[in-house]
A and B are shown apart, each in its own frame.
Chain A
Amino acid sequence: MTASQVISHIDDFPPNTRKVVEVNGRSVVVFRVEDEFYALLNRCPHEGAELCKGRLGGLVVSSEPGEYDMTQENQFLRCPWHGWEFDIKTGQSYCDPRKTRTPRYDVAVKSGGALQEGPYKAEPIKVSLDDLYVVVHC
């Protein structure tokens, strides 16, 4: 069973912040990177650390020893314990993308009007027709 849930008025979710929300019985961490939103299960698939405590950053790659190239700024979340890197777009682990991933969820920004079509859950957030809201689907 999946559900859609309004987690925030857009003005209450400024760029480059994160929120931890409870959706459909799961703890979910939602990131806003500039104007893009991403949502992951707030639990590392390795030993269960809360991913919301990890750092968001780029991915360092190298063309040869001694070279360090920073790429994909703010696209990788590092677990606060053992530092595994997860792509926030896909939830895949960088080192083992095929077998290790944390569930990701769709996030959308919708107007209050669009949300009238439902079904969705908004409690305790009050939805007004003309405003924009962040909605997690999981």
Chain B
Amino acid sequence: MQLPFAGAIDCDTHPAAPSIKSLLPYMTPYWRTQLVERSLHTVNFTFTSAKPNVPLSRRADWRAPLEEDANIVPTLRQELLDPFQLRFAICNVLHGSIALFHQDMAAAIISAVNDWTRDHLLASDPRLRASILVSPTDPAHAVSEIERLGEDKRFVQILLPVMGELPLGRRIYWPIFEAAQRLQLPICIHAGSLHRMATTGGGWPSHFVEDYIAQSAAFENVLVSLLAEGVFRKFDRLTFVLAESGVSWYPALLWRNDRMWRATRREVPWIERVPHEIINERVRLTLQPFDGPEDAAAMKRLIDHFDSDRVILFSTDYPHAHFDGLNALPDGLSDALIQRIAIDNPAETYTRLALAPQPAGASA
């Protein structure tokens, strides 16, 4: 169904990634020269997990040719911000540079993407907010990006891919979490793989559709990693937003971990409460794609299995093809729940939304 009101907050929007040519002005002379001499300004550093030609990556009616990076924001207005009457849209710019092995080249490009995001997305439309892109392969650079950009309240979270080099709960990543918590920025873990290892525990699947489906299994494991390693205990004010996860796996994960905790608590004694309480407080899931049953009555029962109405954040996952027309909400949600998902939960998760200059005339 459609949003019944204006003013929703879209917590997972994907503007097209800028071309390298748009990024060069933000780089040092060394990297500018390097990228040009190595002909890297002619390629796009396309993130394999978000290849734009794959049918799922861009809806058929959202395939306006962009031609120039200058068209990115106008297209976003026309296809997303205006028709959905959004108050805010949080931009997650997925960029393949995070998968580079050359960490200095990756750092140069990632920083430039963040600068471009600030100057060309955030500066162009007051409804836009964005994530700070970082790579899990270089926690030190991630921390420096968070500190460099974190004062700008239009950046509302940190963006990491779900499949990196190690499970994200590992202590090697804790400096990122420490910096994020210090600056009151949630961590957004987004679908996508650096392809350092097979995308499934059983090896490399053949098809894009399989790599896509496998994301939800990765989200399950990453959430268990955060829980088991004690990340929620160590960083007790940090929120984790799981974006583009499929959502419907969530209740089963809680049940299973509640049971396992009783049996293996002695191994991880820092988990001091029943896991579902901790996770319901600290984890949020963006709405699309919501891989639930087609039947509205069954959907309603599934929603009841979530024992919290605080967990889901509205998202369109624009321009991915998960729903038709403006029907960004699954059927079977109550009015009260829609209000929570579309407005209250995002506002509570992203307290920075209230701190930066507000879009004029937007109704909430």
Contact = CB atoms under 8 A, between A and B. Distances in A.
Q: Do A and B come from one complex?
A: yes
Contacts of B269: 60-62, 68-69
Interface residues of B, number: 16
Interface stretch (B117-125, B159-167, B258-266, B290-298): B258-266
A64 B231 CA distance: 10
Interface centre among B229, B230, B231, B270 (most CB of A within 10 A): B270
B233 interface: yes
Contacts of B179: none
A96 B261 CA distance: 11
Interface in A95-121: 95-96
A9 B113 CA distance: 80
B261 A62 contact: no
B270 A65 contact: yes
Contact of B264 (A64, A83, A93, A94): A83
Contact of B270 (A64, A85, A96): A64
B270 A95 contact: no
Contacts of B270: 62, 64-67
Interface in A58-85: 60-62, 64-69, 82-85
Contacts of B264: 83
Contacts, number: 42
A40 to B, nearest CB: 18
A84 B274 contact: no
A44 to B, nearest CB: 12
Contacts of A84: 262-263
A63 B351 CA distance: 29
Contacts of A85: 265-266
Contact of B272 (A62, A93, A96): A62
B233 A65 contact: yes
Nearest to B229: A65
Given A83-B266, A96-B274, A64 B234 contact: yes
A82 B233 contact: no
Given A62-B269, A62-B270, A65-B270, A83 B262 contact: yes
A5 B139 CA distance: 66
Interface string B169-212: 00100000000000000000000000000000000000000000
Interface string B220-233: 00000000011101
Contacts of B229: 65
A82 B262 contact: yes
A95 B265 contact: yes
Interface in B66-87: none
A66 B233 CA distance: 11
B175 to A, nearest CB: 14
B233 A64 contact: yes
Contact of B274 (A60, A61, A95): A95
A96 B263 CA distance: 12
Contacts of A65: 171, 229-231, 233-234, 270
A61 B264 CA distance: 13
A119 to B, nearest CB: 40
A95 B269 CA distance: 11
B294 to A, nearest CB: 36
Which 6 residue pairs spanning A and B have beta carbons closest together?
A65-B230, A62-B269, A62-B270, A83-B263, A60-B269, A95-B262
12 contacts: A60-B266, A60-B269, A62-B230, A62-B269, A64-B233, A65-B230, A65-B234, A65-B270, A67-B270, A68-B269, A83-B264, A84-B262
